[in-house]
Amino acid sequence: MKFQKDTAIDNKVIAAALPGCTVEAYALLSVKDHKVQDIRVLPREESVAEGNIYIGRVDSIRRDLGAAFVRISDGMEVYLPLKEAEGAIFRTAKKDAVLRNGDELLIQISGQAIKMKQPKATARLTLRGNYFVLKLTERGLSLSRKLGKADRKRLQDLVGDWMDGSGIGCLIRTAAAGQEPEILKKEYDILREKAAWLLQYGRSRNIYVCLYREQEAWEKLLEQQYLQGPVEFVTDIAAFYNRINEDDAGGCRDGLQLRNYQDDLLPLYKLYDVEKHLQELCREKVWLPCGGFLMVQQTEAFAAIDVNSGRYEGKKTAEENAFYINCQAVPEAVRQIHLRRLSGIVLIDLINMKEAEHRKEIMTFLKNCSEAVGRNIRVVDLTSLQIAELTVKKEGRSLAEQLAVCGYRYAVI
């Protein structure tokens, strides 16, 4: 998955319209140093997305259900649990905090509509980033319980100085561990600027206005890459380009380059070989440079990756050959886990090695590769049958599920 493109910025986020789907969809790629780091196939987002913030009006209160029904547009009501209305920001000042019919307040979508049920909402407004969650209706600094003692002390001192009595609460997420202060400060400032605008101007906007639109997948990926350094955003979808161009105010963000790609003869998805990459990731067999191969199979209970010697004809001992093939298989197996977005239990059936030192080196290599991809992959153990056991936290749909949702059928290449 390499590209030979001569551009000033090697770090790119590509959002390309993708034909061949039963719904309107696009391919989202992250490309760094001419290699695909991530690829997804996604439908265009719903208008009422989880995380959006609206000015709504209370239509009715059902004490028996412990909930209120709040209208956010002429044709849309959301379900607001009364316990989620505590500390609400009302459009006009109230003598008390009791929720009543006709009240106008800021609410945030917290859950999508399911079958006949309305979307769920909360009045506890938050803005989420990769490293922080800002809480508009709470105060104080809190930290993820998964952070180590050293990280907790460092981050508490660092972020505490940035908050400077702003009145906006902040939760430091686990991903902030080990990150450079410059990267953390860049995201914190972006979130705080959005929060300050909501608190200052939110009440003065018209009823039913969407004050804050949660970022779509392409926006989140772009911001994540932007925090790491200069990035170019390339898209052939006019709505995406116009949105980011407006948000960027004509180029005020240093290190963010925008490109509106338009070429009828060579569409963007063709330029970056999207069909070829998707076809490769749908195949069970994955070839290794040495001539060996992996078999990647998803079962109901777990994902299995089997390492095979294939065409490899080593001239060394069986032990050295097995170690060599496993050394090539480990990074490719982790790469497949990442690109296919596999989750749950993953088992890698390695070629048997007799020497304990080789087994130890392979497991250390596997842990290092797993940490490098930036996914929540935990290497658990190596069994007596030399099957490496891993667990991977689910982060959205797998690539196979994404293709099924979009109804994508790749062409035979």
Local confidence pLDDT in tens for the 413 residues of the chain: 444 444 567 899 999 999 989 999 999 999 998 889 999 999 986 556 789 999 999 999 999 999 999 999 888 899 999 999 998 999 988 888 889 999 999 999 998 777 678 889 999 999 999 899 999 999 999 999 989 899 999 999 999 999 877 789 999 998 898 889 999 999 999 999 999 999 989 888 999 999 998 888 888 889 888 888 899 999 999 999 998 887 655 445 678 899 999 999 999 999 999 999 999 999 999 999 999 999 999 998 999 999 999 988 877 899 999 999 999 999 999 999 999 999 999 999 999 999 999 999 999 999 999 988 877 899 999 999 999 999 998 888 899 999 998 999 764 43
Report the half-sphere exposure of 273 (CA within 13 A, side-chain side). Answer: 15
- Residue 147 has which token pair? 């952070």
- Which part of the chain is CATH 3.30.230? 126-212
CA distances from 1 to 278, 390, 410 (A): 11, 25, 17
Q: Which CATH number fits domain 53-122: 2.40.50.140, 2.60.40.10, 1.10.10.10, 3.40.50.720?
A: 2.40.50.140
Nearest to 390 by CA among 351, 336, 334, 352: 334
- Which part of the chain is CATH 3.40.630? 283-399
Amino acid letter, 170: C
Q: How many residues would you count in the chain?
A: 413
- According to DSSP, the residues that pair with 293 across neighbouring strands are 287, 308
Task: Note the pLDDT of residue 10.
Answer: 84
Rounded CA gap, 27 and 71, in Å? 34
Output the CA torsion 369→372→373→378 (10° steps).
60
Amino acid letter, 394: K
- 8 Å CB contact between 78 and 56: yes
Torsion angles phi and psi, residue 270, rounded to 5: -75, -40
Torsion angles phi and psi, residue 46, rounded to 5: -70, 155
Predicted TM-score (pTM) of this structure: 0.73
Please name the fold of domain 283-399: Aminopeptidase (3.40.630)
Please name the fold of domain 12-45+216-274: Nucleotidyltransferase; domain 5 (3.30.420)
In this structure, the strands spanning 35-43 and 377-382 are unpaired
- Which part of the chain is CATH 3.30.420? 12-45+216-274
User: For 126-212, CATH number?
Assistant: 3.30.230
Tell how far CA 16 is from the center of its chain. Answer: 18
- 8 Å CB contact between 266 and 260: no
Rounded CA gap, 138 and 160, in Å? 15
Nearest to 18 by CA among 275, 230, 224: 275
- Which part of the chain is CATH 2.40.50.140? 53-122
